Structure 1
């Protein structure tokens, strides 16, 4: 090997070898920097400590934060306990598995069959009546509600205080 290098130096054919080395060195350095950046951006995920069944409200005591070691993990998982705390599950969550945000929903503000207050606000005129929601709904959802007095079904938006603001047709 040493004899070939000396012979190449005498013939002046080392330029291509130097050129290859000059092209390879930056690529190696970029690879090292990107590996350091990946290590600096250590991602975390929220996982349950026990089985959580559908319809259960999630409590922070049921969860733990772990470091994500799989670089090919699917996106859309919860990375912080505060983003999951108080949410309700749509499907079974298994211990040690990441919690996908698509498997969670806001808790219902009104439940089907209960009594809610209907509010119609048209500037200076405000009408209030009792109604029965025809479906479960979270805050901000548009639902159908049956007026208890007239039996008419109206649509409205669920508000944070549990009332339904009726929309005009």
Structure 2
């Protein structure tokens, strides 16, 4: 309860929670899914919300996975790395094991950002495989 009491600081009443670092990151405006967040899209409000982000650095530059609404907390599952692979896009599949390196084309079945797992249909064999998106937008399988 002490975190809710205001504190007199330099003649201004400031919520103690803001001073203590218990903040919740919220959207400043409605943001559509698949949008990259900028500094004007988020702000901090005093108080802690379980599971919500607490720092602008955690969200700025990330892509929204769901629509965000003004004044509502932003949760970690609602943002992620910007998509490098779009659904139905043709991507390069790379398999490497020791000295063996195989490369072929595939069709992405999902959207995904760098480091995320994506399902891809191998266009040669028609098999569906899972792989991790590399920084260049290709998909590494078999690791």
Report the TM range for the smaller structure's normalisation: 0.7 to 0.9
Q: How many residues align?
A: 131
CA contact (8 A) 1:76 1:102 kept: no
> Which residue of structure 2 lines up, in the alignment, with residue 94 of structure 1?
69
Q: If each structure's strand is expressed as a fraction of its own residues, which one has the higher value?
A: 2
> Which residue of structure 1 lines up, in the alignment, with residue 88 of structure 2?
113
Moved more, 130-139 or 148-157: 148-157
Q: Give me the whole-angstrom Cα distance separating, in 2, the residues matched to 1:92 and 1:155.
A: 27
Moved more, 39-48 or 106-115: 39-48
* Mapping for residues 22-101 of structure 1, pairs under 5 Å: 39=16, 41-68=20-47, 73-101=48-76
Tell me the secondary structure at the aligned position of residue 57 of structure 2: helix
> Residues 47-82 of structure 1: CA distance to partner in whole angstroms, max 9, x if unpaired?
2221112232211122222333xxxx5311121111
Structure 1's unaligned 5+ residue stretches are 1-31
Q: If each structure's helix is expressed as a fraction of its own residues, which one has the higher value?
A: 1
Q: Does 1:147 align with 2:126?
A: no
> Which residue of structure 2 lines up, in the alignment, with residue 138 of structure 1?
113
- Larger relative contact order (CA 8 Å, sep ≥ 6): 2
Tell me the secondary structure at the aligned position of residue 51 of structure 1: coil
Specify whether residues 114 and 55 from structure 1 end up closer, same or farther in structure 2 by C-alpha distance, changes over 3 A only.
same
Structure 2's unaligned 5+ residue stretches are 8-14
Tell me the secondary structure at the aligned position of residue 112 of structure 2: coil
